[in-house]
Amino acid sequence: MSAVSSATQRRLPRELASGIFWLGGCLQVNHADQPLHVSHSAYLVCGETCSALVDAGHPQDVDLIEAQLGGLLRNGAPQLRYLFATHTETPHTGAIGRLLGRYPDSIACGEVSDLHLVFPEFADRMRRLRPGDSLDLGGTTLAVLEAVVRDYDHTRWAFDTRRRVLFPGDGFAYSHYHDVDQCAKVAEEVPELDLPDMTALFAELALYWTRFADLEPYVSRLETLLFDELAVDVVAPTHGLPITDPEATFSRVRSGLVRPDDR
């Protein structure tokens, strides 16, 4: 079994909005004897003067991310300056050490806890960013936000102000089916995907704390952030398929997070 599906390899990188590219691969997980795929995505955000990579893929995809990114940069993407980590779990920063080595003008930034202990050779190229900070990419800004749905407390989300793309890390996480060709497609291209169920399943398996919390305040906060504060056009999560019509799709995510049988 190849963990990175051929469909994913064929379709990614994919341009989600002008100058914003979806990279990465899928990891197969088995649940109740069903093979499911979970995206482990990274996104290249291009400005006029430089680029930022948001998250850096799963450790199994180090070669893949390096190749995808190298191709985009060779084809004219501005120089890579920022490796933005939403948080430092291995599936979010797998290639960050390799990329710091390959691109000596880049820095790791965002929620970079522990990385100086993981990659001590690059300890002087790490910068912690706080909500309210921003990265100027030229013609656009990557704004740093507090995370709403998260596991590590100080997880950061990012928002591209020109193309209005939200990068919510572990938010909007849900699996998909490889064998019916859902890999590397956006949510709106797979209307048959049971998004509420897949969202609930991911939360149950990966976000343990959600079993003990009232998620309604979190979902309300998400709603406010998406529609009132940011007017998001595209949601680009690390573990879910990107969402290109948040107005239409958000209600399905909401019903996955707040189930009727919730406490």
Partner 1 sequence: MIDPGVLTLVERKLYALPNAYALDGRVSTHPAHVRGFASMNCYVILERGRALLIDTGFSVHEQQLLTQLRSIVDPTTPLTIWLTRVGEYNSVCNVVPIAERFNVTKLIAAVPEPERWVDFRPRGRGDAAARRLDLFAGVETELVRPGAVVTLGPRHTRQLRAIPAPLRLLPTCWIYDVDTTTLFTSDAFTHTWRGDADGPWLIGDRGRDPTDQHAVWDYLTHSRFWWLRDAYTAPLREELANTFATHPVTTIAPAFGCILQGTRVVERHRMMLDSLLWSAPQPPRAHAEQTIAVTR
Residues forming contacts to partner 1 in the complex (CB under 8 A) are: 3, 27, 29-30, 58-60, 62-63, 87-91, 94-95, 97-98, 100-101, 112-114, 116-121, 128, 130-132, 143, 145-148, 150-155, 159, 161, 205-206, 208-209, 211-214, 216-218, 220-221, 229-231, 263
Nearer to partner 1, 41 or 186 (CB): 41
Helix axes 246-257, 216-223, angle to 10 degrees: 170
Q: How far is the CB of 191 from partner 1 (least distance, A)?
A: 29
Q: How far is the CB of 92 from partner 1 (least distance, A)?
A: 9
Q: Residue 7 and residue 112: Cα distance in Å, rounded?
A: 32
Nearer to partner 1, 161 or 255 (CB): 161
Q: How far is the CB of 189 from partner 1 (least distance, A)?
A: 27
Nearer to partner 1, 91 or 186 (CB): 91
Q: How far is the CB of 184 from partner 1 (least distance, A)?
A: 19
Pairing of strands 51-54, 80-85: parallel
Q: How far is the CB of 179 from partner 1 (least distance, A)?
A: 17
Nearer to partner 1, 186 or 198 (CB): 198
At 44, which helix (H) or strand (E)?
Answer: strand 34-46
Q: How far is the CB of 173 from partner 1 (least distance, A)?
A: 13
Nearer to partner 1, 120 or 260 (CB): 120
Q: Residue 149 and residue 167: Cα distance in Å, rounded?
A: 12
Mention every residue, 6+ apart, whose C-beta is less than 8 A from residue 141.
134, 135, 160, 161, 162
Mention every residue, 6+ apart, whose C-beta is less than 8 A from residue 34.
none
Distance of CA 230 to the CA centre of its chain: 17
Q: Residue 169 and residue 153: Cα distance in Å, rounded?
A: 13
Q: Residue 179 and residue 102: Cα distance in Å, rounded?
A: 35
Nearer to partner 1, 138 or 217 (CB): 217
